[in-house]
């Protein structure tokens, strides 16, 4: 799930991230958006994307399970750049090298490392997850307070599967009852209905308030197929289908801060 079949070597990937993260033109590094990788060769590593100036919000981006490329920001780089341009500090924890059943602890370790580099106290926090990461974002939100890490004000769960962590079942009962839970499914994704339904069943069993759940559908057009991999695209149609609802969700939680 979530893999784009492309030949991206570590050297090419590093160059891609460096160029995309540093921006162009003059000025000091502190005056432009930048990216830093912390222990990214490990499954407990993290990429931290810094906006220009002081961050206005924090987005924790949980990748899908799609192999060694999806475990890096490469497939989602344009979406991340969009979020950063709008003032977000984006944290992208690497929770596996290829595939692992036990992913919640490495994800927590990555976020913890990122927090050593960021001052986000008082900022709106969004947990954004795609595919396997869509469930992992919910699981992170459930244990974030216990781990003394940023607690999401909202979760955007895009094309979710039922479970992120599969080595054990993460209890969702500790989810804050004021968290906004947005589920975004693609109408041409054959796994979308089952994945979303099973994740919602987990929330129901955890007594999460139904009034806090938003369900949105990314719809296909004659020229755009809203399938499982569509969130990895950056076409105007993909931006409208996935980026726009996420921007609106961030704006809504920012108003409540």
Q: pLDDT, tens digit, for every residue of 148-205?
A: 999 999 999 999 999 999 999 999 999 999 999 999 999 999 998 899 999 999 999 9
Order of strands, sheet of 125-130, starting from the edge strand that comes earlier in the sequence:
34-38, 46-50, 88-93, 57-62, 125-130, 154-158, 180-186, 213-218
Q: Is 158 domain-assigned?
A: yes
DSSP 52-94: SSS-SEEEEEEPPSSSTTTTSGGGGHHHHHHHHHTTEEEEEE-
pLDDT in tens, 29-52: 445 779 999 999 888 999 999 999
In 3D space, the residue among 25, 26, 49, 27 whose CA is nearest the CA of residue 37 turns out to be 49
Q: Is 16 domain-assigned?
A: no
Q: Is 4 domain-assigned?
A: no
CATH code assigned at 46: 3.40.50.1820
Q: Is 18 domain-assigned?
A: no
Q: Give the per-residue pLDDT at 4.
A: 35
HSE-CB for 58 with a 13 A CA cutoff: 23
23 pLDDT tier (thresholds 50, 70, 90): very low
Q: Is 240 domain-assigned?
A: yes
Q: Is 89 domain-assigned?
A: yes
pLDDT in tens, 84-136: 999 999 999 999 988 899 999 999 999 999 999 999 999 999 999 999 999 99
66 pLDDT tier (thresholds 50, 70, 90): confident
Owning domain of residue 112: 28-256
Tell me the average pLDDT of the chain: 89
Domain count, the chain: 1
Q: How far apart are CA 43 and CA 50, in angstroms?
A: 21
Q: Is 128 domain-assigned?
A: yes
**Lowest-confidence segment of 21-35, 71-85, 240-254 by average pLDDT:** 21-35
Provide the phi-psi class of 170: left if phi over 0, else alpha when psi is between -120 and 50, else beta: beta
Q: Give the per-residue pLDDT at 41.
A: 87
DSSP-derived 3-state class of residue 223: coil
DSSP 23-51: -SSSS-GGGS-EEEEESTTSTT-EEEEE-
pTM, full prediction: 0.88
Q: Is 92 domain-assigned?
A: yes
State the helix-helix crossing angle for 132-143 and 192-205, rounded to 10 degrees.
10
């Amino acid at each position: 799930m979530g893999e784009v079949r492309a030949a991206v070597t570590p050297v090419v990937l590093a160059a891609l991230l460096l160029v995309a993260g540093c921006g162009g033109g003059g000025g000091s590094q502190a005056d432009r958006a930048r990216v830093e990788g912390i222990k990214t060769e490990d499954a407990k590593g993290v990429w931290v994307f810094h906006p220009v100036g002081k961050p206005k919000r924090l987005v924790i981006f949980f990748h899908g399970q799609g192999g060694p490329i999806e475990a890096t920001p490469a497939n989602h780089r344009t979406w991340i750049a969009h979020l950063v341009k709008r003032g977000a500090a984006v944290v992208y924890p690497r929770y596996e090298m290829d595939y692992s059943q036990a992913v919640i602890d490495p994800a927590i370790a990555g976020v913890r490392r990122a927090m050593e580099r960021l001052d986000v106290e008082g900022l709106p926090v969004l947990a954004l997850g795609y595919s396997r990461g869509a469930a992992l974002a919910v699981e992170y939100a459930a244990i974030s307070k216990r781990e003394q890490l940023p607690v999401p004000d909202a979760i955007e769960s895009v094309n979710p599967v039922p479970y992120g962590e599969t080595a054990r079942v993460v209890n969702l009962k500790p989810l804050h009852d004021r968290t906004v839970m947005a589920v975004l499914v693609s109408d041409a994704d054959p796994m979308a209905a089952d994945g979303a339904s099973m994740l919602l069943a987990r929330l129901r069993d955890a007594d999460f308030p139904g009034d806090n759940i938003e369900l949105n559908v990314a719809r296909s057009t004659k020229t755009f197929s809203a399938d499982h991999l569509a969130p990895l695209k950056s076409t105007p149609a993909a931006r409208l289908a996935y980026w726009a609802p996420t921007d609106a969700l961030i704006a809504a939680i920012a108003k409540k801060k």
